[in-house]
Structure 1
Amino acid sequence: MTATADAEAAANELKPLAEYLGSVLRRLRPLPPLDLDLTQAHGNTLATDVLAPHPYPAFDQAAIDGYAARWEDLGGAGRVGSHPSFGRVEGGPRPVRLNVVGDLGASSWRPVRLSPGTCFSVAAGAPLPIGADVVVPVHWTDQGMAAVEILHAPKRGSGVRRAGEEVGVGQVLAPKGAYVTPAMVATFAASGIGHVVVRPSPRVVVVATGDELVDVGRPSQPGQVVDANSHALTAAAVEAGALAYRIGICDDDPEGLRGLLEDQTLRADLIITTGGTGTGPGDMLRRVLSRRDPGRGVVEFTDVALCPGSTLGFGTVGGEEVPVICLPGEPGAALIGFEVLAHPVIQLLAGAEPVFRPSVKAHLLETISSPGGLREFRPAFVTERRGGGHTVQPLAGGPYTLSGLAEANGLLVLGERVTTAAAGSTVDVLLLDRRR
């Protein structure tokens, strides 16, 4: 049997990535909903559709500073644009003179009515007088106080905001599963909403395992590996919308490892570990968590058709059966594993829709090869083309995936049957967040 045939045979024994993801996500449910004060809702996802209980604006109001008037009373004034300088032109249309019968500010509340030939001086946000259907900008007038000369007539309805013009009663302000943004908070508040029902942000605990690990701030030495993973995965969990806690390094002590993870179930909705997923003599995590102990949960480790990294673990820990995800120890593979598995799990727990990152089709800028039988996720830089469409530049992959990820804004996805992708071909690219 040739080396290629051996590789294909080995790949055929791996579980397809889509099948594996489906089996994991079907076991999970979003976290129970919470009724939160509006000031605490940002960053969570909505558990229900949010409907407007009141119109916005709540009443007819002035949209600008100016003079609220009846449009019929302005018929003799020059039309908009007839005099670009907005000044008097000899022989041109004469201004319209109206009596100013009062001033209205945003805090005014008594209803007032216009009579023919009169107007009110109004501030933006002030209630509109009954009968008014236009607000003339201040700079289109002589800014009179007892009486005002209007040099040009706006269109009917100009400068006016009608009740419910932006949001009507019963209108869906945001759908279930939407991420609560600052602008959304403002819309809710303006519509009279003080509380919303949300899925809470998942609490994620990150643990790095291995006797060889040392903390950051020093270079690796023979027999030592700097723990980059727990820092990176904690940051990735925060970016995914979680409340993330880095526990740090746990040695390969079976009882200490099991005890640490079970202690974390009291404050975690999801536990992410890194390292120890293989079958080597030092891979204690796999031996400990795959042991079936009643009431303590069990993790199943699966060889997945994924590159980089292939073995992923998923199951539960402790009597509370808190989900746990086990990622490889190699930093690049750990981050790819997070994007493939942990990111959608966090989104699902948070009730977000959709759970996967957005993707685009892009034209490949250079020819690349890919291992057959594996779905490869390669760091890439995506650029939107002028006139539409995208191009993608592959970045360092394979053993250099970590350095490639540091400058990537996307992940180029090459399917199991792809061994070579030619320059100019169309490929799928998963878009990563670019928060600068």
Structure 2
Amino acid sequence: MPDAAVPLEAHLRRILDAVAPLPPRDVPLLQAHGLVLAEAVHADLDLPSFANSSMDGYAVRAADLVGAADDAPVALPVRGSIGAGAGAEAVVEAGTAVKIMTGAPLPPGADAVVPYEWTDAGAETVQVRQTPQAGAHVRPVGDDVARGALLLEAGTRLTSRHLGLLAAIGRPTARVHPRPRVAVVSTGAELRAPGESLGPDAIYDSNSTLLAAAALEAGVEPVHVGRLDDDVDGLWPALQRLLPRVDLVVTSGGVSMGDFDVVKAALRALDPADGEVWFGPVAMQPGKPQGFGLLLDRSGTDGDAPRSVPILTLPGNPVSSYLSFEVFAKPALRRQLGLPDDALTTPTVRARLVGAVGSPAGRRQLLRGRLAADGTVTPVGGAGSHLMGFLAHADALIVVPEELTSVEDGAEVDVIPLPSWAPASRDGGAS
């Protein structure tokens, strides 16, 4: 009797309960882009660390310019100039001014800056036509950030703005959960690499490219393995060679009920000392046959404990494989990145269905669709798990719950947006 199908949420919980954030490490700032801080960051210094001018103009004593106006300018002798990056060697004595550039340190004696626009821009003597307040056009010490202040909390996913702040306080590195490396493996004797010749019974391997690109969209680094032979005896040794350099393994194909499902056959035969993988049906369409487990990497030095590497075995049809990656592998990778629980899955949006759809009882159907700006979603293609052409033109998944066998035209449905564009990881995912 076949196993009862596991609810989608139960299988996802099985995966997430077994996956942990990768151990933190210090990385250069640009390599930390998109990664998650593993510790809180406090300011090591004040920003700015010295009082400086926010304008090009003249450093002055405000009391010397009381009453200055367009019809009653006040003349001050100019006693030197200070540029950005120059020490404040000049001193503003009573009744004098010092020319100053934006960002230059406020010289001793000065308490305000008058911009060029308030003056005649004189070189030896300057005519000032407005009265400044003390502190005018001066950036005081700590005006932006005070020493010791909490700048970024642990768990922050670093953007360009965060990295700029870290650089501004002098941090050359950030302590983050590193970017996971995921091995992407296709199985199937019928598969050929794109560019090779096809025989009458062969097809091109699209899955390894599809899933490696999906890994890039998830902000992680794929190790694009391509196709492994349908060899029960050779599969585990091949995976063993991969384990030392990856943090997660994703296979496609070989997990159904057929006579040649080598992934299931090979991994079910594992010695428990090498790991354990569960296989079974999940109540979803497409993507019913699934597998998940932990493989042990024993490549460390003597005395090191084996490292557990998660493996997700996905079905071989390309649409099933891709949707399974979105639903199961992407949350696992987000967990390894250190993202919080509420950011592990892609939020759904509500949309109005254009056209009626049917769905099998007891299974959550994920139909390809296109979202429109008017809040509608239109199915793209049928439910077939081989329809790559339609997958390429979809930008969303229409969710039909397990308890429904049909959804009427115009009904409100949950929709999972698919990535439309995402930046590659820093090395382009080279293996």
Q: TM-score range by the shorter chain?
A: 0.7 to 0.9
Change (3 A) 1:284 1:110: same
* Residue 275 of structure 1: how far off its partner (Å): 0.8
CA contact (8 A) 1:370 1:376 kept: no
- More displaced 10-residue stretch of structure 1: 207-216 or 404-413: 404-413
- Matching of residue 28 in structure 1 with residue 19 in structure 2: yes
Of 222, 234, 251, which aligns to 2:229?
A: 251
Query: Secondary structure at the residue paired with 2:18?
Result: coil
Tell me the residue number matched to 1:377: 366
CA contact (8 A) 2:332 2:344 kept: no
Of 316, 327, 339, which aligns to 1:329?
A: 316
> What is the CA–CA distance in structure 2 between the aligned matches of 1:424 and 1:95, rounded to whole Å?
73
* Residue 178 of structure 1: how far off its partner (Å): 2.2
* Residue 398 of structure 1: how far off its partner (Å): 1.7
Provide structure 2 residue ranges, at least 5 long, that are not aligned to the other structure: 299-305, 424-431
- Matching of residue 361 in structure 1 with residue 349 in structure 2: yes
- More displaced 10-residue stretch of structure 1: 261-270 or 164-173: 164-173
Of all paired residues, the percent bearing the same amino acid is 35
Tell me the residue number matched to 1:197: 175
Tell me the residue number matched to 1:172: 150
> What is the CA–CA distance in structure 2 between the aligned matches of 1:304 and 1:369, rounded to whole Å?
21
Tell me the residue number matched to 2:159: 181
> What is the CA–CA distance in structure 1 between the aligned matches of 2:118 and 2:418, rounded to whole Å?
49
Q: How many residues align?
A: 409
* Residue 161 of structure 1: how far off its partner (Å): 2.1
Query: Secondary structure at the residue paired with 1:185?
Result: helix
* Residue 53 of structure 1: how far off its partner (Å): 1.6
Tell me the residue number matched to 1:50: 41
Tell me the residue number matched to 1:290: 268
Query: Secondary structure at the residue paired with 1:143?
Result: coil
The one-letter code of the counterpart of 2:213 is A
The one-letter code of the counterpart of 2:9 is A
* Residue 348 of structure 1: how far off its partner (Å): 0.9
* Residue 184 of structure 1: how far off its partner (Å): 1.9
> What is the CA–CA distance in structure 1 between the aligned matches of 2:68 and 2:383, rounded to whole Å?
74
Tell me the residue number matched to 1:64: 55
Query: Secondary structure at the residue paired with 1:324?
Result: strand
Alignment of 1:10-409 (within 5 A): 13-77=4-68, 93-110=71-88, 113-130=91-108, 132-152=110-130, 157-217=135-195, 222-318=200-296, 319=298, 320=306, 321-353=308-340, 354-364=342-352, 366-371=354-359, 372-382=361-371, 391-399=376-384, 402-409=388-395
CA contact (8 A) 1:414 1:428 kept: no
* Residue 133 of structure 1: how far off its partner (Å): 4.5
* Residue 287 of structure 1: how far off its partner (Å): 1.3
The one-letter code of the counterpart of 2:221 is L
* Residue 106 of structure 1: how far off its partner (Å): 1.6
Tell me the residue number matched to 2:401: 415
Change (3 A) 1:402 1:166: farther
CA contact (8 A) 1:68 1:122 kept: yes
* Residue 14 of structure 1: how far off its partner (Å): 1.9
The one-letter code of the counterpart of 2:351 is H
Change (3 A) 1:39 1:71: same
Provide structure 1 residue ranges, at least 5 long, that are not aligned to the other structure: 1-9, 79-91
* Residue 134 of structure 1: how far off its partner (Å): 3.9
Query: Secondary structure at the residue paired with 2:244?
Result: coil
> What is the CA–CA distance in structure 2 between the aligned matches of 1:177 and 1:420, rounded to whole Å?
39
Change (3 A) 1:143 1:117: same
The one-letter code of the counterpart of 1:402 is M
- Map Cα deviations across residues 159-196 of structure 1 (whole Å, 9 max, x no partner): 33222222222333222222233332221121122332
Query: Secondary structure at the residue paired with 2:239?
Result: helix
> What is the CA–CA distance in structure 1 between the aligned matches of 2:133 and 2:5, rounded to whole Å?
69
* Residue 239 of structure 1: how far off its partner (Å): 2.1
* Residue 211 of structure 1: how far off its partner (Å): 0.4
- Map Cα deviations across residues 131-154 of structure 1 (whole Å, 9 max, x no partner): 545433334432211122234557
Query: Secondary structure at the residue paired with 2:275?
Result: coil
Give the CA RMSD over aligned residues. 2.8
- More displaced 10-residue stretch of structure 1: 129-138 or 239-248: 129-138
